[in-house]
Structure formats: C-alpha cells, structure tokens
Structure 1
Amino acid sequence: MNLPDGFTLDAHDALPLQVATRAGFAEWQQAQPAAARAWAGAQGFDGSPGTALVLPDADGGIAGAVLGVEDMHDPCAYGHAPFALPARDWTLATPLDESRRAALELGWGLGSYRFTRYKAPLRAPARLQVAGAVGETFDVLAACTRVRDLVNTPTEDMGPDQLEAVAREIGERHGAQVEVIAGDALLEQNYPAIHAVGRASHRAPRLIALHWGDEAHPQLALVGKGVCFDSGGLDIKPADGMRNMKKDMGGAAHAIALAELVMAQRLPVRLSLLVPAVENSIGPNAFRPGEVIATRAGISVEIDNTDAEGRIVLCDALVRAGELSPDLIVDFATLTGAARIALGPDLPALFANDDGVAQGWLDAGSELRDPVWRMPLWRPYLRYLTSGIADLANAGSKMAGAVTAALYLERFVPADRPWAHLDVYAWNDNARPGRPAGGEALGLRSAYAMLKARYGG
C-alpha cells in the first residue's frame, strides 16, 4: 500500500504519542510518572496549542512525546506535529474518538505536505502509524493535496493542456468519460466566450468535460474556473498583482479534486465536471475593452475590463451545466479580490440561490473546521452590470465586486436549478502549521460533506 508522506503501517519501532490541551493539562499531568511531570515543568510545557514536547527515558533516549492542541476536531490543530517531532515513527497513545482520530490523521497529512517537484525538502516528516484500512480520511487528504499540487505548479507546467491531462488520468482511473473541445472547435460548438478569453495564448483554450456515474442517480455538475495564468489581458495587471497568477486556476483545482473525491468514495450521483481552461494572454488577437462578445446563452456581453475574465469563461460552462438538467450545480473560482478583502484569505465567500444548499455547506464547514461564509445575491446591484450596447457588462463598478461577479454568473444558471458558487482564494500567503505557503484547498472538505449529506454515501 502506498501511503502519503508522514504515515506508516509499521508500529514495530513506533514510540507513544500523547495529545493534551491546555484546559486538560492538569488531568494529563496527573496521569504521568513523576519524571515526566518534572520534565514537562522544566520545559514549561502546559499543553498550549501548537507545541510539542519529547519525553526522555532513563537512558537519555526518547520515551515518547506529547502534542499540545486546542480544538481536537480541527485538523490544522495537529499540523505542527510532523516537523515538530523527530523524524521517526509514532503511534497514538491517547484514546480519541473516530472524529478526533480522523482530524489528527488529516492534520498530520496536511502538516507533512511539501511541494517537492522542483526542490527537495530539508527533512522528512515524522511518521504516524495508521491501520491498514485508511479509507475516507486519506481520500480527503488526497483531494486537498491535489489542489495544492495543481495550484503550486507554475503555468509552464500547468497550462490548459496539462489540466486536460490531469482530468484524463483521473477519468481513466475511475472509469469516467472525458471529452475536450479545444481551439476553434469552441466556436463551432457554441462556446464563444471561452474562446474569446483564451484565443491570444499560444496554447489553445478548451472546455474539459468529465462524466461519471449511473444515469439513474441525481445529476451533479461541478464547474471550475481554469484560468491557468491571468496577465489581466489588455487591462494588464501590475507586477505585484500578476506575480501569483499561476493560482488563477484554483477554482478548477478545487472542482477537479472534488470530482476525484466523489468518484473515489463512489457517491451515488451522475457526475459531470466542466473546466473551461484558458490562459488570459496579451497578443494581436486578444479580446479588447469595449468589445461585445457572444455567449452560449445568447446573452451579449460588453467587455468593460479584460481582467474580469473568469466570469466570462465560467458563463459558457455554467450554461452547459444547466443543459444537463442537474439536481445541483456547484462552481469554484478564484474570482474576485473583493471577496478576499471582505473576508480575508481563509474564509471563502459562498453565494447560493438555494437556502438548503447554503445551510448544508455552512453547517458542514462549522463541523469540519473548513468554514465558508454566505454572501448575498443582492439583485439590485445588477445595475452595476448595465451596458448601453449589450445585454450585460462584465464589470463596471468598484462597488460590491464579489456580489456583482456572483450576480453575473447567476444570469447564466437556470432559475429552477439549485446553484452554489464559491469565490475562493486558494492560497496561503504565509506558512502556518498545517497550512504551508502556496496553494490551499478551502471549502473543499465541507463541500464534500455537504454533498455526502445530500446524496448519501
């Protein structure tokens, strides 16, 4: 069995690992031998979150260790362990119930993660002993790792063609069908908005579609913004705004990873994954401010700003999703800086036209410590998307940027179909335990839990 970094099945040389909280430190301390109590006191260990203490044996070796955590249900509470402890095998000695054990294993895996494609890590993580049947927790960890790897990879190695290759590999492994419409075929098959955004790149724009599952099951459509690099187009970004735009396919990374997780856990759905994959480049045939472009829905769109391109590629994909008559449409997109300014980098903005779907996602986020925050589809703000020469403008105001972007997308979703949109940052600016700097999965675990509760699995 191939295990992720930070795990082992062999407990032969594993040392005992305990878990303590500051609130329960006195109880932990009373259960320890006198020497361990004295050592913890000498080190000033009191179970504070994010701490770890190696316990010595009588011969100067290691007898075990204890982790200080706060919220035992939060995976990231354990994220410091793999690199705070010596790089050897550990086995859990503190009894934890199933949910806390799952949080520990997931957090250990998240904390063990390093992006190693171009640079070898300085050291290996400590390894946690796990049972042979690792199941759902490791599938969730693989989904989070998938997002991180895709977002961290530079565009030269993660353009539209490489995103297609990832979808094909996943599809082949799970028995899914994958179809791709690329280049001028997008015009022939009526995806003009996707083509308009991606036509200036040397790599052809495309719509990647993956289909899986029993046709008798409810149809679930997942859509992800796949802008593999965003220069801003002719409304070019400044250098600091363009620096990390390899991550502008973070929505696609989330949708791909969630689709992979749904298939791995075999949720009883008929799944369709739709990823409009483009590079928003500058060239002689780049789309221009002031142009009016066609969309699959037949809605004409005036381009106010070429840097508001994510909603342009998503609108064609959302129309295609609606044509499937789905039970639910969920899209992910690194769509607006306004969402990050409003809610910060860790709290994705959730928009939904269905209260049940929204509440299910919110409840799952609270339970799993993978939160999202609901924002309003305040339809009076559609006035900020008014065009004098087209049905709709793609931008036009600095007011309520995340709301107006969501309202734009809603115009392309069937009114009678439940739909949820997550405006996600997909990035950690600074390294923290369990959250290394770079690409990050946000709202993914709670999205899966919401789907699992909705469809059973």
Structure 2
Amino acid sequence: MSAFFFILFYVWHGLVERHHPRIVKLEYRAPDQSKVRENLYFVGKGVTYDTGGADIKAGGVMRASVAGFLKTVSLLAPEHVNITAGLSFVRNSVGSNSYVSDEVILSRAGVRVLIGNTDAEGRLVMTDLLTEFKDAALAEREANSAPSILFTVATLTGHALRAYGGYGIALDTNVSARQLRVSRRIFDAGHVWGDPFEISTLRRDDMEAVAPGSTSEDVVQANDKPSSATMRGHQFPAGYLVIASGLDKHGSSAVPEQRVAYTHLDIAGSAETLDGVGLSLPTVTGSPVPALAGAFLL
C-alpha cells in the first residue's frame, strides 16, 4: 500500500509500528445501475492524534464525518447514486524520524510537494486518495454516463472557524462542479435540514499562493503560520489539493470527457460544538451528514 499512498506513509514515517496508517474504503452501489444519476466519491481523514509533528502544537483527535455519511447511505439505500468513500487514518506524531518542513515529497500523481508546515498534515493524507478517486471517476464513465463528483471532507483549517464560525464551508474548485451546482445544492439542503453551510470560492490568488518558488517543487503544501493567521487560509488548501492530486489537468482546460467535478468541504467549524461539557471533548454535531443527505440522497 505504501507505494500508492506515499504521502500518508511519509506523515507516519515509521515512528511507531503499532500506529501504522490505514486506508479504509467504503462503497455503495445502487441496485439498478440503469437508474444511477450521479457517482459520488468522498475523501476523508482521521488524524487520530495530532501533535503537529515537528511543528509542534498541543492537539487532539479529529473527526471522520465521511464514515457517518456512509452509514446514512446504508440506511436510506438510494436508487439514484453510487457512492465510494475513502478515509486516511494516521497519527501525526513527533520523533526522531518525523518528516520536517522543507522536505519534498512525491505524490501519487507524480507532483513534487514542498512541505511548509508539518501541522498541515490533513491535506497531505487526503492527496493520494483524491488522485486514486480521480482516476476511478474517469474510469467510471466507461460503465455509465452519469456525472462523477469528487469531494474532500475534513475539519481542515482554523481559518474556516475564524471566517464563518460554526458553519461548514463548501467550495467548488472547478467549472464542472459549478455547472452541477454542487456547493449550491449543499447550501440549499443545509438550510432545509438544519445543517447550514456557507459557500466559498477558489480564486487565482489561492493557486498562486501554492505555486512553486524554485525548480525543486511543483506545489507548496502550506506556509509556516497557522491558517487562522493567514489570508485566505481555508481557500488555498483546496488549491494545493487540486494541484497535488493532478486535478488541475482535469478542469476547464481539459477536453469535456476528461473533466472531473471536485468540491472541497471544510467542516472545522460545524463538525463539533465549540466547547465541551466540563473538561470533556467537544460534542460531535453530525455535520455535514444532513446537508449531504439532503443534497444527494433524498
């Protein structure tokens, strides 16, 4: 598996064998494929403990909301969608073998990633799964003509919380996603089902922010500051994911049959309450399950 998910294994870096990373895949296929109208691919993560790596912080667990959505799918058994989900599980530990800033890692898509901050591991561990699902979405077109939509879903940045408080953020990264109204559907469904989302926008600035500064890299993973202290701190990570996964080759400049819709959801503000009860952990809210179910299952 390490040959196909090199970045995930690089974050782990063999620090502790019992903390070996895992890829978990879940799949739902509609019983009658002739009724399928959309193929949905979800990439999520579970950083089960996050020290920040070599860029140390006081941290804790993160939520794996994609698994909750697939449980809902299994209960509703929709007839009009195929759904594939993948989750990257890893500890972002610190130790003598930790990966560090200024290293260059090769992604599954063959993109050279310059590490800027080891505490921005979430976008890293989703990168290679996003590449795999991009390839799967293109292959799916040979089986059925229904459009495919890729998603990354994560409690990714503190900037999302600073920008929108306790609301999730939907961000269409390319024209294919905008044409399918992906973010708008999530926004509308969220208001109906009590899981409100805000819509954000990927702009040229976000792609330029992660552009290579030398011939040694193709994309920069992050800067050395917290996202909450960085302008457009929840938008530019989506720009990184587009480039590092190879999805920049499947946007508006690609021929129509090679275009793949991709929408990024940052649920750092909505996945859990801002405060726990007493000294306990914050309460998980269930977001974005209601919004996604309303937008794509019902």
TM (norm. structure 2) is 0.80
Query: Which structure is richer in relative contact order (CA contacts within 8 A, separation 6 or more)?
Result: 2
| Gap change, CA 1:437 and 1:420, over 3 Å in 2 | same
Q: Name the residue aligned to 1:417.
A: 260
Establish whether residue 259 from structure 1 lines up as the match of residue 70 from structure 2.
yes
Q: Name the residue aligned to 1:197.
A: 11
Gaps in structure 2 of 5+ consecutive residues: 141-147, 252-258
> In the TM superposition, what whole-angstrom CA distance separates every residue of 1:332-358 from its partner, at most 9, and x where no partner exists?
1011111111111x2011111323111
| Gap change, CA 1:437 and 1:227, over 3 Å in 2 | closer
1:324 match: secondary structure = helix
Establish whether residue 440 from structure 1 lines up as the match of residue 265 from structure 2.
no
| CA contact 1:235–1:305 (8 Å) conserved in 2 | yes
Deviation of the 1:448 alpha carbon: 0.8
| CA contact 1:255–1:331 (8 Å) conserved in 2 | no
Q: Name the residue aligned to 1:94.
A: none
1:30-429 matches, within 5 Å, as 185-187=1-3, 190-199=4-13, 200-202=15-17, 203-214=19-30, 216=33, 217=36, 218-237=38-57, 239=58, 242=59, 245-246=60-61, 248=62, 250=63, 253-268=64-79, 269-325=81-137, 327-344=148-165, 346-352=166-172, 353=174, 354-355=177-178, 356-387=181-212, 388=214, 389-396=216-223, 398-411=230-243, 412=245, 413=247, 414-415=250-251, 416-425=259-268, 426-429=271-274
| Gap change, CA 1:194 and 1:450, over 3 Å in 2 | same
- What is the count of residue pairs matched by the alignment? 254
Distance 2:103 2:20 in 1: 21
| CA contact 1:195–1:206 (8 Å) conserved in 2 | no
- Note the aligned Cα RMSD (angstroms): 2.0
Which protein shows a greater Rg?
A: 1
Gaps in structure 1 of 5+ consecutive residues: 1-184
Q: Name the residue aligned to 2:255.
A: none
Deviation of the 1:330 alpha carbon: 2.1
1:429 match: secondary structure = strand
Deviation of the 1:260 alpha carbon: 1.3
Distance 1:276 1:379 in 2: 29
1:399 match: secondary structure = coil
Q: Percent identity at matched positions?
A: 28
Distance 1:334 1:254 in 2: 9
Deviation of the 1:430 alpha carbon: 3.1
2:201 match: secondary structure = coil
| CA contact 1:228–1:279 (8 Å) conserved in 2 | yes
| CA contact 1:289–1:304 (8 Å) conserved in 2 | yes
TM (norm. structure 1) is 0.53
1:359 match: secondary structure = helix
| Gap change, CA 1:444 and 1:212, over 3 Å in 2 | closer
| CA contact 2:78–2:297 (8 Å) conserved in 1 | yes
| Gap change, CA 1:378 and 1:201, over 3 Å in 2 | farther
Amino acid at match of 1:447: L
Deviation of the 1:273 alpha carbon: 1.1
Distance 1:201 1:306 in 2: 17
Amino acid at match of 2:66: A
Amino acid at match of 1:197: V
> In the TM superposition, what whole-angstrom CA distance separates every residue of 1:303-350 from its partner, at most 9, and x where no partner exists?
011011111111111111111116111221011111111111x20111
Give the number of the structure whose residues are more often helix, by fraction.
1
Deviation of the 1:214 alpha carbon: 4.1
> In the TM superposition, what whole-angstrom CA distance separates every residue of 1:173-195 from its partner, at most 9, and x where no partner exists?
xxxxxxxxxxxx322xx211111
